[in-house]
Amino acid sequence: MSKLATTILVAALCLLAVMGGLLAAHVQMAHEDFEENITVSKEGTTTSTVAVHDLALLPAASRTYTVHLKCKASGTYRILLSYEEKANGGLKPFVNVTVRADGEIVWNGTLQELLDGNTCPTFSGELQEKDSFDVQITYDMPQEIGNEAKDTFADFDVHFTIEKE
């Protein structure tokens, strides 16, 4: 093999290794779980939006979004989650959703139900001043989903409305 061909081959392999590393880093970042803090006001209603961009899952994969509600006044609060679809990339029929409030399951259903506006998970929680009340939303794709979910995604907003009861 000539010296030029060897040089080209080595350069191509180096370029391929760099591209593979960048792709692996992008895939890892896209599948990391997400956390956010919302400070709940003492009176009235607190609203906040969590944007979910390019949610893409593989069969048997899941992604969890954790929202820490930080309260300025102890009490019982009503929490409403409403969903607003931003782009339909075909993923919503394939994804199950579980909402947990401080570790307890308060809602189970599908992403399709949420994005079609058929339901808005609503629950109450006892928030303590300066403590965190965690709301976890897990999106998972069942193992048995096959190629029909390939290259699908979802873009949506989750609107949190928190009211003191």
pLDDT of residue 29: 41
Cα end-to-end distance, the chain, whole Å: 79
**Domain over 33-164 is classified CATH 3.90.320:** no
In the numeric block, which tokens belong to residue 162?
Answer: 């928190």
Task: Say if CB 153 and CB 78 are below 8 A apart.
Answer: no
Task: Please state the pTM of the whole predicted model.
Answer: 0.77
Q: Which phi and psi (to 5°) does residue 123 adopt? A: -155, 165
| pLDDT tens digit sequence for 5-46 | 778 777 666 666 656 554 444 444 444 567 888 888 877 799
Helix runs in the chain, H state only: 3-30, 111-115
140 beta partners: 62, 96
Q: What is the mean pLDDT of each run of 10 residues along the chain (165 residues)?
A: 76 64 44 76 87 89 93 89 93 95 94 92 88 92 88 93 90
How far, in Å, CA of 13 to CA of 8, rounded? 9
- The type of residue at 19 is M
C-alpha to C-alpha distance for 106 and 87, rounded to whole angstroms: 26
